[in-house]
Structure 1
Amino acid sequence: MAMPKMLRNLPGIATGLRSAFKEGYGLADLRKDVMAGLTIGTVAVPLSMALAIATGVPPQHGLYTAIVAGVIIALTGGSRFNVSGPTAAFVVILFPIVQQYGLGGLLIASMMAGLILVALGLARMGQLIQFVPYPVVLGFTAGIAVVIAVLQIPDFLGLEVGQMGEHFVENLGRIGASLPSINPFELGIGFFSLAVFILWPRLKLPLPAPLMGLVAGAIGAYLINSLMGGDGTTVETIASRFTWEHQGDVGSGIPPIAPTFMVPWSLPGANGEPLKLNFELIRSLMGPAFAIAILGAIESLLCAVVSDGMTKTRHDPNAELIGQGLGNIVAPLFGGVTATAAIARTATSIRSGARSPIAAVVHSLVVLLSVVALAGLLGLVPMAALAALLLVVAWNMSEARHFMHTLRSAPAGDVGVLLVCFGLTVIFDMVLAVAVGIGLAAALFIRRMALLTRTDKIDTETHSTVNGLPPEVAVYGVNGPMFFGAAEKALTSLRLVDPQVRIIILDMQGVPSMDGTAIVNLQTLVEDMLQDNVSLILTGLPTRIIVKLRRAHVRKVIGRLTYAGSLTQARAIALRWLASQR
């Protein structure tokens, strides 16, 4: 029995994995994938911990995200090279969710976002990424980078700030008020780690800078805590800040256990009490879930485009959305937070020789091994070093050079959109910034297109096709798309014709499309012309537009209104009509 058309058109999953095996995947490719996975796994461990802490949850939840979501998305997504896990872009969205709803609310929102992503993929919405203007993307990513950097200041300086709030301005005030509490040892560890992060890549050694910076910071913190801990000058570490409990066992730092199944709504909310899964909770989390899904779609598909450019391959955007959705549905059931494709980790994987999604699977296995075997050592990492790592991430994410270049070279309208998106992201939130930015960009586009659409009077004495027409016949040319932003402007000049003109030839060969507003405006113009005893000949319109006009009752009237295929034909009709009127 034939498959229904609707089912045949559904996007597939695991297209990235299937495309790799179609090209003849062999042992040599597997070796390259394993080496690339080992490399990005060592990068993902410190980043996953740092991003989880920046989000407001214990570090192991970032590691669980890289383990569970990393595998599922790699095996089911539409890109061969995307590496998924927690990313910096989500900090500004997830941090307020944790403040309001706790860890349980964050995991529920992530699952809801996963369902939205799957729905977007099934609806084949993956191509819509191309309609997000570059100034909007650059503006909100730079704004996110600023927010992330500010959130790291307390840990970097060792400030006694207390609980950070949801709003940027409020947090700045708290940081400013707590500056007298700077811990010089925390500050020293922060700058030492930051220097390693920046200078290590110049040595061109195989070990990644994020790993070496945290190792150096951990050694420094251990020495300070060992030598001077008794004076109250200890450097805070993961183990000293976080505790865990699992099946009666308790400990500090990161639990040395693999991700285990947990029911998100049984986890504590913001008040420490378990959440109650009901319609009110789902309704209140719908806005954050939608924001997570939209940002996840944008970042994942942008990452896939970048990886395609580096490898000369093509991804399936709809399958990638489905894979991202599946990862975000399953990962919260094992303690993972929101996941999406990470551009930096993906680029590192490609440069390390990755050949297929298996590299991302190996990366997740490396993170799993680190949790099970190295949890004690991970607990020694100082918070100041993690803050320094996120400062580097924020700087790279800000794309400061591109930001300044756009300010200097882009048109004024695009600069305005960029600055509005940047400001709204920093002061309010990314959802408002993207919505307003896309609206402003659309308005700017409409204005530009309206300026391109115009109506000009054609000189009948010099034009070769209509040469010799009497003064009672006027010829106008319309050029550009006719839509709601341009139709009225383009047709206004036709209402100011010479009183002696009895026939107007309207050459519309340069009109590629007309929307409903333009059709209504043209219909009104035709009615006004007929009422003033001015005949009208519409020339050069495509058949599809003529059909639309006829449906709107802009139909032929003998001797008064007709359609012509060319100016030559319109000239002959005008002369015939003029002769019959005399």
Structure 2
Amino acid sequence: MEHIFNPKLFTLLKRGIDKKQVTSDILAGIVVAIVALPLAIAFAVASGVSPERGIITSIIAGFFISLLGGSRVQIGGPTGAFIVIVFGIVEKYGINGLIISTIMAGIILIVFGLLKLGNLLKYFPNSLIIGFTSGIALVIFSTQIKDALGLNIIEVPSEFIDKWKLYFTHLDEINMVALTITVITILISIFSKKFVNKIPGSFIAIIFMTIGVQLFDLPVTTIESSFGEIPNHFNFAIPSFAFKDLAIYIGPAITIALLGSIESLLSAVVSDGMISGNHRSNTELIAQGVANIVTPFFGGIPATGAIARTATNVNIGGRTPISGIVHSITLLLIMLLFGRWAKLIPMSCLAGVLIVVAFNMSEWRSFRSILRGSIFDIIILLSTFILTVLVDLTVAIQVGIVLSALLFMKRMADISGKIPLEMDSDLIEDYSEIPKDISIYEISGPLFFASVKQYTEVIKRIGLKSKVLIIRMRHVPFVDSTGLENLRGVIKILKDYGVTIVLSGVNESVLKDFEKHQLISLVDKSNIHDSFEKAIDYSKQLLNNKPSSKKNEIILNF
């Protein structure tokens, strides 16, 4: 059990944490709390629940995720990805149904962790993740049009197309004051970082817009006019339920658990790359589960690891879970002391904040990049995207996973006749004359979403011990978007450490994919060779300009 659940904080406390780092973590936690405050309120409002529920979620769930999690720097709380799910559950089952679904999702997450399912994230292709992330971003954007334009619409339909039809019929009712506030909020959120680095633009925009609306008594809706008072306290409450009705919440609970696990582990992976660390995925899932079981009893909503807040934490200097705990305590103090002022925030300002969040979530560069790739990735991307927007996120993920499996089998069947049954006679060469600063790693088989994590971890480990790393790719029949993205990431890391990457034996199809995704320019065209012998000769020449010190390591992967 100790190997399944082993919180990072406890490990770090046993080793001892430097006092200077503790100070840095405390400062990072305070700044991240300022970042989290407007987002927590905005996510709650967009999800169809009262604003204090978002703050409560950041406080309680954020605390448990940092205290018990498997990541050094993960910041937990409500996220934009849950807006669509939470809104749908509240609309269908009410707040009580949301609380029950979230608690059940927490139990499912703990089971995921105990069954060691944390590593299954690698079986989700990048095209699927980008598809539903971009779809969620578009849905979030569409939900904010009413407040962004100040439209006087009592009830907005949940269906995407019906929603936009209604917007277009009310365009003559646009409140220009609300629209101006929305635009100014967006501009401040985007451009303030050029002048102020430590304070987030969304926080600055909310302060200025709220003060402006109150000073000039501007005719726009506020949190108070939409939701009433924001309490500066929270209570413990047990939801009412009947055991016979629990079955109806299984679907929503599984959706919350799946999305929560995907987003939290993605956030942990991203932060690992930023701090050169390794998270404990099963511990992280268990911590997410505990957070989602406890938080609803105090009025919170589903929570997970938040990529943007986690990245902010790292950039400011947070390196231990102390920063996440301080972030929760700071938010608690803000809610107790200043919560009553949050009711004055204009809804159009929150809409502007969420529009920026949606744009950042859209992953439009990755979306465009995948559209230039293989037809298989394009099918998965567009199917998941369209289903997320027009049908349902749960259906989108299910269809995306099935499509990924079927298209992979089709792809493997198409190339099965092209792969030689016997290995080339020169597979095991005499490496005795290769300089010790050159390492060699061979990839045999497709570089795709299920295998790329293992390959890139070894490439990184071997590469960091080398001056030149030759990656042999003669038996790589194809790469998918996940493979390309992960390979790009590890090559960037090795280049930052001064390691030269040399590729050999890349087939024409893979080379075209590299060219489409700018991998050739990243590696440098002169470092790509059509034969292993040329790659060796070229690598020896490179060493003339590199000091020799490291031990040679050769990995042949069959």
Determine if the alignment matches structure 1 residue 255 to structure 2 residue 218.
no
Aligned to 1:335: 299
Determine if the alignment matches structure 1 residue 82 to structure 2 residue 74.
yes
Pick one of 109, 130, 149 that aligns with 1:157: 149
The answer (yes or no) to whether the contact 1:129–1:301 under 8 Å persists in 2 is yes
Q: 1:280 to 1:157 in 2, by over 3 A?
A: farther
Instruction: Tell me which structure has the larger Cα radius of gyration.
Output: 1
Determine if the alignment matches structure 1 residue 295 to structure 2 residue 249.
no
Q: 1:28 to 1:412 in 2, by over 3 A?
A: same
SS of aligned partner of 1:79: coil
The answer (yes or no) to whether the contact 2:44–2:54 under 8 Å persists in 1 is yes
Q: Aligned partners of 2:445 and 2:354: how far apart in 1?
A: 49
How far the C-alpha of 1:457 sits from its partner, in A, is 11
SS of aligned partner of 1:264: coil
Pick one of 452, 461, 464 that aligns with 2:415: 452
Determine if the alignment matches structure 1 residue 423 to structure 2 residue 386.
yes
How far the C-alpha of 1:23 sits from its partner, in A, is 4.2
Residue deviations 1:150-193 (CA, integer Å, cap 9, x gap): 00000111111222233212222222222222111111111121
Q: Which runs of 5+ in 2 are unaligned?
A: 426-443, 447-474, 476-558
Give TM-score scaled by structure 1 length: 0.71
Aligned to 1:11: 4
The answer (yes or no) to whether the contact 1:40–1:348 under 8 Å persists in 2 is yes
Q: Aligned partners of 2:75 and 2:179: how far apart in 1?
A: 33
In the TM superposition, 1:194-209 aligns within 5 A as 194-209=186-201
How far the C-alpha of 1:480 sits from its partner, in A, is 9.1
Q: Aligned partners of 1:456 and 1:79: how far apart in 2?
A: 41
In the TM superposition, 1:527-566 aligns within 5 A as none
Residue identity opposite 2:384 in structure 1: C
Residue deviations 1:278-310 (CA, integer Å, cap 9, x gap): 134311111011000000000000011011100
Pick one of 221, 225, 242 that aligns with 2:213: 221
Residue deviations 1:415-471 (CA, integer Å, cap 9, x gap): 11111111000001111111111111111110121123239999xxxx9xxxxxxxx
In the TM superposition, 1:2-401 aligns within 5 A as 7=1, 11-14=4-7, 16-225=8-217, 234-243=219-228, 252=229, 254-257=230-233, 259-265=234-240, 277-401=241-365
Aligned to 2:510: none
Aligned to 1:414: 377
The sequence identity of aligned pairs, in percent, is 41
Q: 1:329 to 1:13 in 2, by over 3 A?
A: farther
Q: 1:166 to 1:13 in 2, by over 3 A?
A: farther
Ranges of 4+ aligned residues in structure 1 off by more than 4 Å: 455-458
The answer (yes or no) to whether the contact 1:19–1:80 under 8 Å persists in 2 is no
Q: Which runs of 5+ in 1 are unaligned?
A: 1-6, 229-233, 244-251, 266-276, 464-478, 482-509, 511-582
Residue deviations 1:209-263 (CA, integer Å, cap 9, x gap): 11101112112211332xx5xxxxx2111122212xxxxxxxx2x1122x32112
How far the C-alpha of 1:22 sits from its partner, in A, is 4.3
The answer (yes or no) to whether the contact 1:454–1:480 under 8 Å persists in 2 is no
Aligned to 2:397: 434
Residue identity opposite 1:185 in structure 2: V
Residue deviations 1:372-428 (CA, integer Å, cap 9, x gap): 1111221221110000000000000001111112212x1111111111111000001
Residue deviations 1:56-106 (CA, integer Å, cap 9, x gap): 000000000001111011111111111000000011111110111111111
The answer (yes or no) to whether the contact 2:29–2:326 under 8 Å persists in 1 is yes
How far the C-alpha of 1:42 sits from its partner, in A, is 0.3
Q: Aligned partners of 2:123 and 2:320: how far apart in 1?
A: 29
How far the C-alpha of 1:39 sits from its partner, in A, is 0.5
Q: Aligned partners of 2:418 and 2:92: how far apart in 1?
A: 56
Q: Aligned partners of 1:126 and 1:205: how far apart in 2?
A: 35
The answer (yes or no) to whether the contact 1:13–1:323 under 8 Å persists in 2 is no
Aligned length: 426
Higher alpha-carbon deviation: 280-289 or 74-83:
280-289
The answer (yes or no) to whether the contact 2:189–2:200 under 8 Å persists in 1 is no
SS of aligned partner of 1:21: helix
SS of aligned partner of 1:414: helix
Q: Aligned partners of 1:456 and 1:64: how far apart in 2?
A: 56
The answer (yes or no) to whether the contact 1:190–1:217 under 8 Å persists in 2 is no
- Root mean square deviation, CA, Å: 2.0
Q: Aligned partners of 1:53 and 1:102: how far apart in 2?
A: 15
Q: Aligned partners of 2:31 and 2:186: how far apart in 1?
A: 21
Q: Aligned partners of 1:280 and 1:113: how far apart in 2?
A: 18
The answer (yes or no) to whether the contact 1:52–1:58 under 8 Å persists in 2 is yes
Residue identity opposite 2:160 in structure 1: F
Q: 1:447 to 1:375 in 2, by over 3 A?
A: same
The answer (yes or no) to whether the contact 2:137–2:359 under 8 Å persists in 1 is yes
Q: Aligned partners of 1:328 and 1:174: how far apart in 2?
A: 35
Residue identity opposite 1:306 in structure 2: V
Give TM-score scaled by structure 2 length: 0.74
SS of aligned partner of 2:144: helix
